[in-house]
Every structure is written in structure tokens, then in C-alpha cells.
Amino acid sequence: MTKRPTIRTALLGAVAVTALGATVAAPSLLSTYPAQAAQIAGQPAPSTIAPGSFADVVDRVSPAVVSVKVKMVENASDDDDSPAQSMPNIPKGDPLERFFRQFQQRGGMGNPKPHPHTGMAQGSGFFISSDGYIVTNNHVVENATDVEVALQDGKTVPATVVGTDKKTDLALIKVKSGSNYPFVQWASSVPRVGDWVIAVGNPFGLGGTVTAGIVSARGRDIGAGPYDDFLQIDAPVNRGNSGGPTFNTEGQVVGINTAIFSPSGGSVGIGFAIPTEVARGVIQDLKDKGVVARGWLGIQIQPVTADIAESLGLKDAKGALVAEPQKGSPAAAAGIRSGDVITAVNSDMVDSPKELSRKIAGLGPDKKVTLTVWHEGSQKNVDVTLGTLPNDQQAKADMPKPQDEKAQLSTYGLTLAPAASIAGAGSAGVVVAEVDPDGTAAQKGLQTGDVILEAAGKPVARPSDVSTALSDAKKDGHKAVLLRVKTGDNVRYVALSTQNAG
């Protein structure tokens, strides 16, 4: 039987970024990967000229690289093509529909009711200690009922899952018996773009395979998760390389192979590896506690665009703009407010919201940090004690239905109405009742149902409050006005140009 995982891809143009895990019986099937990564930091490694041969390094590290074989129980899906899942083409509500559905649920004649079945999958991994701890990908061992590890000498030993982390697609497993296993070390410095790397793994279930290439890029965000910061390598990696190591020419692990960018499912010279700087801390947490605890500020943040920077008086369009602090969060307790821009953490500059998220998450709970904040036209430092990142929550958007008391800002392509006049919109702010898709407001991302809470830092209750803020800003020589906008449960800032203001 084959593993039939839920396949999740991040489409880039017509090409998909996919996880590398391969099934044993059907290597064309892929495993999923969730989210990954944190910031690559540290001093650049010295440049390395390509050696005449990688054989010495390969001889030294290959015994530590293993094949991870996984058994899991899968339930037949509702959209399975098996006969038991088929239904005659009967109009909905017809009495025969109920008869056939009951017949199917009982199993029917010749159409047995779907039942769980066993699947097999296979990936790669590597020892990080002599007592049998192995690093691999979460998507390799996810939903596993049994895990086995095939060593370089062909011996197979059982293993258990110590812990997994979906956000970075990392997992730690441990063999159940034996000791004195060969293992490899994490790299002590980050690779530079152009440095040689060696990938070792188990592509297509073939067994130990070695490929070489260079680091093509760093800090890649492929939309896989909240902490994306991948190494991009051109050493050929394929399905089944998932969880396998990428080494530098010293034989140290610089990354864990996780995904490929490919139109066909095979290598086209673009692979992605979780950098050691991310993996090392995550794996240590899994070893010590079985889970990963991340730091938490409790804020909604967004990028600082050029328009926003100009509106706030910032010299550079960098940092993370606080759209809204959550009630009872560490940020709120420390005095962080909507409209603040966080530009550094412990004097380490922050260029983007994602970078801030990675830094805070990587510091961990209960850590005391100093944030550099741009607040109402001046810079200040704010001390915060981080909390523990709670489980992800899905934002629920209740779209208001426009009714009466509408007013038009025709030069922006907007029709506004007081929130109090719109059922379900609450009592604060002004609702965007209609948006011209070709208008200036639509180009800035405003959409029907958005609630404008503030304009130029002041609360608004009527459409005229918004138009007045725009015209006043234009008279004062400002190029844009910041609107604080709520979409569902999310709050963000939109910089609307004053060019069209009356």
C-alpha cells in the first residue's frame, strides 16, 4: 500500500514548491511540509575553493546519514474513487437517494465500507549524537505508527518519535537500542552564497546518494510557514531527500533538505534547506522538552511601506508597524500602541514583520527584551517580558451588509457609512460600503466591509471625518494619511494619498 498524504504546495507561477518525502511504493506521491525557519545570523564563513574531490568528506559523514522508513494507518478519504464511495446519479431529495446511502453505509453487496489501511513512506535523516538521536522532517514521520531506521550497513533498527515541530517541519527521533552510532556536527558558521555544499540522502528510496552544488541564496520565503528563511541550494535533491543533511566542505551540517521548486517533481537545481541556525535550537527544545516553546509579543503587525514611512516621519521604510496589540498581551502591558513601529530587538535591527516574528519566536518565553520603537514621531526603548506563543487562532471575518446613510468619496472610489448604521459592524468607525475596483482606495487594498477606525491618528465616526482628515493633511503638505482599518478580526494601516483630497 502507499502513503496518500495531504499534499500542500506553494504555487509560484506555474511551478510548485513541494516537500521532498517519497513513498516506497509510489515515489511520485509527496508528503506535506508546514511552516519553517528563523533568521540566518552570524559571521560569514571563509570562501572555499572547490576541492578536486569530495570523497574524503563523504567517507567521513555518510555513515551518520540514514533512511527513515515509516508505517502509518490511513483512512479512506471521502473523495476516494473506490466503488464504496460512488453513488448513482439520483436527484437530491429523491427517496432512492436515502435508500442507496443507507445501503452504502451498511457496506452494500460487493461494495465494502471503506476501512483504514496501512501505508508506507520513506525519507532521510542523520545522527546528531552517539546514543541514537536522529534529525529528520516532521512530514516524514507525521502520523507514524511505526518508525524504522536503515543504517548505511543495511541493518534496520526500530525508532521512536521524540518530538515534532510543524512550524519548522522538523522532527527528532531516537533509535530504541544500541549505542556508539556515528554522528555529525552542526556547522559553527553560516554559509555564504556561492559556498560549496554536499547533500546526502535517500532520493526515490534508492539508498545513500551524494550530490554537490553551491548555496544559491539565503533567506528564501517560499510561503511555507511563519518562519520561512530557507537556504536555497543547487545540489540536486529529490523526493526522499526530506530530512537529509546538507554539509559544508568541512563535513558540518549547514541545513536540512525539505522542499524543491520543480515543474515535474524532480530536481531542476532549486532546493530548499532549513538552516542550521534554525534547526539547532528547535532540535534542542525537542530533545529537552519534546515540544518547542516560542516567544510571544501579542501584536498584529504589517510592513512599513514608503507611504507609511512618510506619514509617520520615518527616514526608511523598515521595521514592523503595529496595527493592534492584543488585550492582555506582553506588548500591551509594556505600553506598545497601535501606530508604533518596532525597528530593533535588543539593538538588532528589524527590517520586516517576518524578521521581527522570527526574532521574537527564537528568543523564547519569559525572556526580557528591549524593543526600539518609533512612537509618535520620536524613538524610544521599551522593555518587554515575552510570553509563550499560544496556539494559532483563525480570524473570523463577519462582513457587514451596507444599508443606509452612505456618503461618497468619489475621487477615491469609496462609498462610506457610519459603522453604527450597519448591522454587525459595531459602533466604532466608518464602514467601507462600496469600492470602485479601479479607484485609488481599491489599489491600496481597501475592500467592501472594511471598517476605518482612525484617520491621521484620530478616531472617526462619520464619513466626513475621513474626508476632513484627508483635506487637512493636504493643506499641511502631507503626501498621505494613515487610515487604521479593521478587516474581520485583523487590523492594519493603509496610507491613502492626499492628492485626490478636496
d(CA 111, CA 80) in angstroms, rounded, equals: 13
To the query of whether residue 86 is one of the catalytic residues in this protein, the response is no
229 catalytically annotated? no
SS3 of residue 358 by DSSP: helix
Question: What H or E segment, with its residue span, contains residue 177?
Answer: none
Q: Round to whole Å and give the CA distance between 59 and 251.
A: 10
Pairwise CA distance, residues 370 & 195, whole Å? 35
Q: Where are the beta strands (DSSP E) in 403-489?
A: 407-409, 414-418, 430-435, 451-455, 458-459, 480-487
DSSP E strand boundaries for 166-294: 170-175, 196-201, 209-220, 230-233, 245-247, 253-262, 271-275
Residue 223: left if φ>0, alpha if ψ -120 to 50, beta else—which one? left
Residue identified by cell 525557519 is 37
Answer yes or no: is 139 a known binding residue: yes
Q: Which of 31, 139, 228, 465 is catalytic?
A: 139
Q: In angstroms, rounded to a whole number, what is the distance separating the alpha carbons of residues 203 and 14?
A: 24
Give the CA angle between residues 208, 212, 216 to the nearest 5°.
Answer: 130
Contacts with 477 (C-beta within 8 Å, 6 or more apart), sequence order: none
Catalytic position from the list 67, 124, 169, 267: 169
- CB atoms near residue 257 (< 10 Å): 29
| 242 marked as binding residue | yes
Distances in Å between the Cα of 314 and the Cα atoms of 309, 376, 491 are 5, 10, 21
266 annotated among ligand-binding-site residues? no
Q: What distance separates the 2 farthest-apart alpha carbons in the chain?
A: 81
Residue (of 15, 253, 228, 232) closest to 124 by Cα position: 253
- Known binding residue 78? Answer is no
241 annotated ligand-binding residue: yes
Q: Select which of 31, 124, 242, 497 is catalytic.
A: 242
139 is catalytic: yes
Residues annotated in a binding site for substrate: 139, 169, 240-242
Sequence ranges of the binding site: 139, 169, 240-242
Catalytic positions, written as ranges = 139, 169, 242
